[in-house]
Structure 1
Amino acid sequence: MTPSTKLPEKTGRRKINTDDPRFRIKPYQQIASACTGGIITSLIMTPLDVVKTRIQTQQKLLLSNKCFLYCNGLMDHLCPCGPNSAPLKNHLHLNGTIDAFIKISRSEGVKALWSGLGPTLVSALPSTVIYFVAYEQIRRHTKDFHNKHLGGTDMPLYVPLFAGVSSRIFAVTMVSPLELIRTKMQSQKMTYKEMTNAVRTMIQADGALVLFKGLPPTIYRDVPFSGIYWSCYEALKWYYQVTDPTFGFSFTAGAVAGSVAATITTPFDLIKTYQQIEFGEQVIYTDKPRPNIPIKTTSERLKEVYRLHGFRGLFAGLLPRLAKVAPACAVMISSFEYGKSFFYKLNVQRYNENHM
């Protein structure tokens, strides 16, 4: 048995089985754990991303009808960039991260560091819940199928890999049209009737698939990231023989797994950023959609970046990405695992009370 083949279920300091049918965590408990993790991650990561976004956008004051992309660890968000865009109305000259924290807090109040938190929670929580609950359900059913038909009680490494890939595909496909509609409504302050007409126009011009136009680059980046992340995380639990991870272990393992996955998928993240910004400028942040505008494929963009900037160009922005992804993954998975542990112990307590 090696780390690359088997992940034992009942080894280590805490010899429990969270998949025991008697104490198994219910879907609504998984939802509660995912919601808690999502909220905590948003609260911690949003100020960091607000500062990063302000610093980046101060270099684009002369650009109009453009947009930029930011992510607070849970979701990507397109914003218009120009003199009238929200981050630039009360422009401050910022000289680094610490200076930005101080100036924004003094001039706009501490609450400004959490600007955009509401839309983030409304948009990111459903996606986060779908993703984590889907992962838990797919992982459990895949593991049960493996144990039933192939025997044994261990969990092969392909189980978290398959569950991570499948859950991410399901989550991003579910929310992709909603994200497009939400972003367009926010960018142009549309009513629901105006949004309906705009969506109808877009569908008539480009077909129903226009609602999923940003889906392929998202899948190219997020699906490999998810598969690598969960495989690394479960492998770390196997290596250190942990079945009921503490908050500290989950935090560290989540940061490590997130860093590995982020590093490997950075070229796809780079291309996804290009394509989302281009799509935002062509469709979202315009009064009328402009159909039949050719958009380069992911492979074409990768070849172009490699030709112009070499291998290093494919990993541009790696350090800032790690600085964002690693803590976000650490906070999210440790909060989620802590919630699962809480509900597991609660289920054990209830079971014992009912069978005394």
Structure 2
Amino acid sequence: IMGSEEKENELYRITTSQQAFSSGCGAVITSVLVTPLDVVKVRLQAQSNPNLKGKILIDIEGVKSLWSGLFPSLAVSVPTTVVYFTCYDQLHDTFGSKIGEDHDSVPLIAGGLARLCAATATSPIEMIKTRMQSRRLSYKKLLACISSNVTQSGWLSLWKGWGPTVLRDVPFSALYWCNYEYLKKRLCKKLGKREPTFLITFSSGAVAGSIAAVLTLPFDVVKTHKQTEMWEPVSTHGIIPRLTKIAPACAIMISAYEYGKSFFRRINKDKAMKNL
């Protein structure tokens, strides 16, 4: 039997376009705030000389280099996040109606499948973003490099690193959503909240993202090297930079998304009440 909370959520369920708008706004906010951390992570993974880390990034190229690849990052994150989060909610509802809303496998399966679709669709732009962050390139040089690769290796070269990306992102997503949904429910129950607060979603997202990031770190290193074509021995795997980036990124993104859904749910409820 559906409880009062489930009935209310079903009655005032947000539309697909509202889900897309919420996830898109969250992606923009997250990209702007987290891009510098992503740049540091990529540089540390791609460099073979640990003594030059700080100097290469700031002293030589300037602080603006921290936002290198921001536009490709937005070009990747906005459509990817819209597809990803919208697919997740749709798949979560579909699987939840078939095998039970509270079944542990629901977020696991929905998260993995949603990420597979999103990662495949935007893999070429992800590759471009990674190359821009690994070493400073003008858009003209970047386009020339991509054009040369396509001429020599064909269009499939744009999906270089797709395998490691999928191997990293699919298990990351499955682990992330499974842990996030679990932590969110536990915190709501412990604090006696019917709806998750900003603090609950933020902390759940940060912890869930950190756990998933640690477990999938080797695939992230492989993906970075594959896309930057740098296979020198690496002295650091970048676990700290990855955690420093992933934890706040997951926390900011999921908090913004949940807030957006809650906002639209209130609007839908107000409209429904006015029409009674």
Fold conserved between structures, TM > 0.5: yes
The letter for the 2-side match of 1:351 is A
Structure 2, unpaired ranges of 5+:
133-137
Shift of 1:222: 0.9
Aligned equivalent of 2:85, options 121, 132, 147: 132
Aligned residue pairs total: 263
The letter for the 1-side match of 2:114 is S
Q: 1:178 to 1:119 in 2, by over 3 A?
A: closer
SS of 2:13's partner is coil
Aligned equivalent of 1:43, options 18, 32, 46: 32
Equivalent in the alignment of 1:143: 96
Q: In the TM superposition, what whole-angstrom CA distance separates every residue of 1:273-302 from its partner, at most 9, and x where no partner exists?
A: 332332xx5xxxxxxxxxxxxx9xxxxxxx
The letter for the 2-side match of 1:117 is L
Equivalent in the alignment of 1:163: 110
Equivalent in the alignment of 2:201: 250
Q: Does structure 2 retain, via aligned residues, the 8 Å contact 1:132–1:167?
A: yes
SS of 1:24's partner is coil
Separation (CA, whole Å) in 2 of partners of 1:274 and 1:186: 21
The letter for the 2-side match of 1:31 is A
Separation (CA, whole Å) in 2 of partners of 1:53 and 1:228: 22
Shift of 1:122: 2.0
**Which protein has the bigger helix share?**
2
| TM-score, normalising length: structure 1 | 0.62
Separation (CA, whole Å) in 2 of partners of 1:197 and 1:271: 23
Shift of 1:124: 1.9
Q: Does structure 2 retain, via aligned residues, the 8 Å contact 1:16–1:244?
A: no
Shift of 1:268: 2.1
Q: Are residues 1:215 and 2:165 paired?
A: no
Q: Does structure 2 retain, via aligned residues, the 8 Å contact 1:9–1:243?
A: no
Equivalent in the alignment of 1:237: 184
Q: In the TM superposition, what whole-angstrom CA distance separates every residue of 1:80-105 from its partner, at most 9, and x where no partner exists?
A: xx9xxxx68x716xxxxxxxxxx73x
Separation (CA, whole Å) in 2 of partners of 1:181 and 1:113: 16
Alpha-carbon RMSD across the aligned residues, in angstroms, is 3.8
Q: Does structure 2 retain, via aligned residues, the 8 Å contact 1:250–1:330?
A: yes
Q: Does structure 1 retain, via aligned residues, the 8 Å contact 2:19–2:261?
A: yes
SS of 2:60's partner is coil
Equivalent in the alignment of 2:135: none
Shift of 1:190: 3.4
Equivalent in the alignment of 2:23: 34
Q: 1:190 to 1:54 in 2, by over 3 A?
A: closer
Q: Does structure 1 retain, via aligned residues, the 8 Å contact 2:203–2:251?
A: yes
Equivalent in the alignment of 1:263: 214
Q: 1:175 to 1:115 in 2, by over 3 A?
A: closer
**Which protein has the bigger strand share?**
1
Equivalent in the alignment of 1:299: none
Q: Does structure 2 retain, via aligned residues, the 8 Å contact 1:25–1:347?
A: yes
Equivalent in the alignment of 1:331: 252
Residues 273-292 of structure 1: matches in 2 within 5 Å? 273-278=224-229
Task: State which drifts further: 248-257 or 210-219.
Answer: 210-219
Q: In the TM superposition, what whole-angstrom CA distance separates every residue of 1:34-76 from its partner, at most 9, and x where no partner exists?
A: 111111112211244456678899986xx9xxxx9xxxxxxxx
Q: Are residues 1:25 and 2:9 paired?
A: no
Task: State which drifts further: 341-350 or 211-220.
Answer: 211-220
Q: 1:260 to 1:179 in 2, by over 3 A?
A: closer
Q: 1:231 to 1:320 in 2, by over 3 A?
A: same
Separation (CA, whole Å) in 2 of partners of 1:333 and 1:213: 29
Q: 1:129 to 1:244 in 2, by over 3 A?
A: same
Larger radius of gyration between Structure 1 and Structure 2: 1
Q: Does structure 1 retain, via aligned residues, the 8 Å contact 2:72–2:128?
A: no
Q: In the TM superposition, what whole-angstrom CA distance separates every residue of 1:3-42 from its partner, at most 9, and x where no partner exists?
A: xxxxx9859xxx455750x311111111111111111112
Q: 1:17 to 1:327 in 2, by over 3 A?
A: farther
Shift of 1:256: 0.6
Q: Are residues 1:91 and 2:60 paired?
A: yes
